[in-house]
């Protein structure tokens, strides 16, 4: 009964390197949301994807950040040329669909803690 | 962007006491949710509320969806040490294009003194 899986759990990158974060949704879920959490803050929405489609990327920075959810394999959040301000915890959540109601609740993974040195 | 005002920011209580925290918004949400986050982990859903005025319980937890759809509260009765953690409220609505993203408060950090 695997929940949402994220890897790596911790990632250290030097400024200018690329960070690649992976998220495998719960079994049977095909909708993925990515959120970012800064220290002492709540989570902030970044992007919402369904298989092979980006549905809403209104919370994603315009540059250096991209996300994908291929037909096969995990969803990936990619940060190019990382800067110190990218240091944060990145969480993904999966759901069975999109909409209000108990059928579409979002379940979170354990997060990836990115540190940029 | 949209902000949820969550209070209090932190609480220190004695084991066995009841706890109350709340969340308010300037905008309407269709769903209110309460999550708990332990250090180094992701948020875990505690209670979800889908109708204005709804009062829902989950064990020692009780939450209500405000009539105006702009607020919610969470109560924890007879607190125990494992209640320690950060509690987040989150509002959900269709932001357009069928995206039901969550908007989170900044959290209430609960400490329980044995």
DSSP per-residue codes, B49-81: E-STT-EEEETTEEEEE-TTSSEEEEEE-S--G
d(CA A70, CA A61): 21
Task: Identify the pLDDT of residue B41.
Answer: 93
Record the tokens describing residue B30, joined without a space: 């269709």
Record the tokens describing residue B53, joined without a space: 């005025």
- Cβ atoms of A32 and A46 closer than 8 Å: no
Task: Identify the pLDDT of residue A97.
Answer: 81
DSSP characters over A87-111: -EEEEEEEESSSSSSGGG--EE---
> pLDDT (tens digit, 9 = 90+) per residue, A31-76?
999 999 998 888 999 999 999 999 999 999 999 999 999 999 999 9
B27: three-class secondary structure by DSSP: coil
For CA atoms B36, B37, B38, B44, the dihedral sign is positive
> pLDDT (tens digit, 9 = 90+) per residue, A65-112?
999 999 999 999 999 999 999 999 999 999 988 777 766 789 999 999
Task: Identify the pLDDT of residue A41.
Answer: 86
d(CA B63, CA B90): 12
Longest dimension (CA), chain B: 48
- Partner A, chain B 24-53, Cβ-Cβ below 8 Å: 30-31, 33, 35, 40-45, 48, 50
To which residue do tokens 């379940």 refer?
A: A107
Task: Identify the pLDDT of residue B2.
Answer: 63
The DSSP 8-state label assigned to residue A61 in this structure reads -
Task: Identify the pLDDT of residue B61.
Answer: 97
Say whether residue A61 is in contact with chain B using an 8 A CB cutoff. Answer: no
- CB-based contact A33 B31, cutoff 8 Å: no
- CB-based contact A110 B30, cutoff 8 Å: no
Tell me which residues of chain B have a pLDDT lower than 50. Answer: none
- Tell me which chain A residue has its CA closest to the CA of residue B96: A56
Task: Identify the pLDDT of residue A31.
Answer: 93
**What is the end-to-end Cα distance of chain B in Å, rounded?**
39
Task: Identify the pLDDT of residue A27.
Answer: 92
- CB-based contact A107 B45, cutoff 8 Å: yes
Interface test with A, best of B47, B97, B102 (most A CBs within 10 A): B102
d(CA B106, CA B6): 6
Number of C-beta neighbours around residue B103 at 10 A: 21
B91: three-class secondary structure by DSSP: strand
């Amino acid at each position: 009964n695997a929940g949402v899986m994220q890897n790596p759990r911790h990632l250290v990158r030097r400024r200018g390197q690329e960070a690649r974060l992976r998220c495998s949704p719960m079994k049977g879920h095909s909708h993925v949301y990515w959120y970012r959490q800064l220290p002492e803050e709540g989570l902030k929405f970044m992007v919402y994807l369904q298989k092979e489609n980006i549905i809403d990327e209104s919370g994603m920075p315009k540059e250096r950040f991209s996300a994908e959810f291929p037909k096969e394999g995990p969803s990936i959040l990619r940060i190019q040329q990382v800067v110190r301000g990218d240091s944060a915890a990145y969480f993904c959540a999966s759901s069975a669909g999109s909409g209000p109601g108990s059928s579409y609740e979002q379940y979170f993974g354990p997060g990836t803690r990115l540190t940029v040195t | 962007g949209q902000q949820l005002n969550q209070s209090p920011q932190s609480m220190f209580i004695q084991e066995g006491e009841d706890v109350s925290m709340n969340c308010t918004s300037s905008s309407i949400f269709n769903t209110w949710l309460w999550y708990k986050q332990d250090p180094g982990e992701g948020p875990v859903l505690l209670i979800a509320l889908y109708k204005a005025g709804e009062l829902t319980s989950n064990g020692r937890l009780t939450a209500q969806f405000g009539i105006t759809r702009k607020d919610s509260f969470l109560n924890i009765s007879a607190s125990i040490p494992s209640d320690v953690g950060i509690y987040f409220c989150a509002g959900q609505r269709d932001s357009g294009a069928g995206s039901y993203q969550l908007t989170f408060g900044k959290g209430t950090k609960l400490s329980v003194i044995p």
